[in-house]
Amino acid sequence: MDDSNAHQTLANEAFSKSGASGLYDRARPTYPLQSINRILAHLPDHDANVVELGAGTGIFTRAILSNAKPGQIKNWNAIEPAAGMRESFMQSVKTYSAEGPSIGCDHGTFDCMESIQSEFADMVTAAQAWHWTGSDADFQEKCVKEVSRVLKPKGYFVLIWNLKDREACEWAGRIRDAYEVHEAGTPQYRLGLWKTLFQTKTFKESFKLLPPDEIPNQLKSNSKKNVDDSIDESIPTLTVTTQTPLTLDGLQARILSKSYITALDSDGQQKVKDELKSVWDHHIVGNPATEWIDEKTVKFPYVTHLYVLQKR
């Protein structure tokens, strides 16, 4: 088994566990409204068909459906390889399905969406997911080719990620250091391995990145060149900074929902929780730079990166 398959197997097993238990859906943040509205602006006003890759428990799905215009989305077809995630997804979107769009969640992968007809989708999305494609050029080609197959001409391929903003304050970096050491070679977004997609034959022939003037508030990050930010000056990126309420318990749960932490044994998970508590007690509590909502809840800095590609 090559590294790409091994990492995806680990992710599927861990995410199925955290999805079925409800941990993932409880712990993970939603997406900022500015990025959601930007995505919706690329959809037709009525009867849009959307395919979501790596849909997880439906956090991104619900953010989109909560803000879409009445009748804007006709079909939402989610693709998710982890059984526990699929179960949680369907439970979480019941209200939205009853009110309007047809919503389904099928087994599938980035390179194989058997349930989706060719040229079905006005948009394909991947929220907090595409980095699992890794850097293997052949696999990336298969994945991008499959996205191209299901997209209508002129349809959009949207990639979005949330990550804790280590540039915002010193203790956010310490939090990330406490858990990123356990990544075990998994192809995390921050490493930028997923950008191999921009070198694929199908991308070069069939897609274009939207020019900067088509993405409001587009930033190219001339000052942030650290690989940790996964920003490339040549890639138009909508960058949205936000703050989300978070307690110590919430922080620990959020980190435990990460696939490579979920995969640790109980002793390993407890060690991570202890490390997070140490950062909280020694670098967040009593720090004059910390913004508190109440005595237990801080404003935790996040940054969201959005990439918009269009099929030719």
> pTM above 0.75?
yes
Residue 100's pLDDT is 84
Identify which has the larger pLDDT, 179 or 235: 179
Residue 98's pLDDT is 74
Give the CATH number, domain containing residue 76.
3.40.50.150
Residue 221's pLDDT is 36
Asked if residue 293 belongs to a domain, the reply is: no
- pLDDT tens-place string over residues 45-70: 999 999 999 999 999 999 999 999 99
Residue 97's pLDDT is 80
Asked if residue 257 belongs to a domain, the reply is: no
Asked if residue 144 belongs to a domain, the reply is: yes
Nearest alpha carbon to residue 129 among 109, 100, 145: 109
> How many CB atoms are located within 10 Å of the residue 274 CB?
11
Using a pLDDT cut of 70, give the percent of the chain over it. 86
**pLDDT score of 2 more than 80:** no
> How many CB atoms are located within 10 Å of the residue 69 CB?
11
- pLDDT tens-place string over residues 222-249: 333 343 445 566 688 889 999 999 999 9
Q: How far is CA 133 from CA 77, 139, 231, in A?
A: 20, 7, 18
Domain extent for 50: 3-169+186-245+302-311
Asked if residue 284 belongs to a domain, the reply is: no
Residue 14's pLDDT is 55
Asked if residue 228 belongs to a domain, the reply is: yes
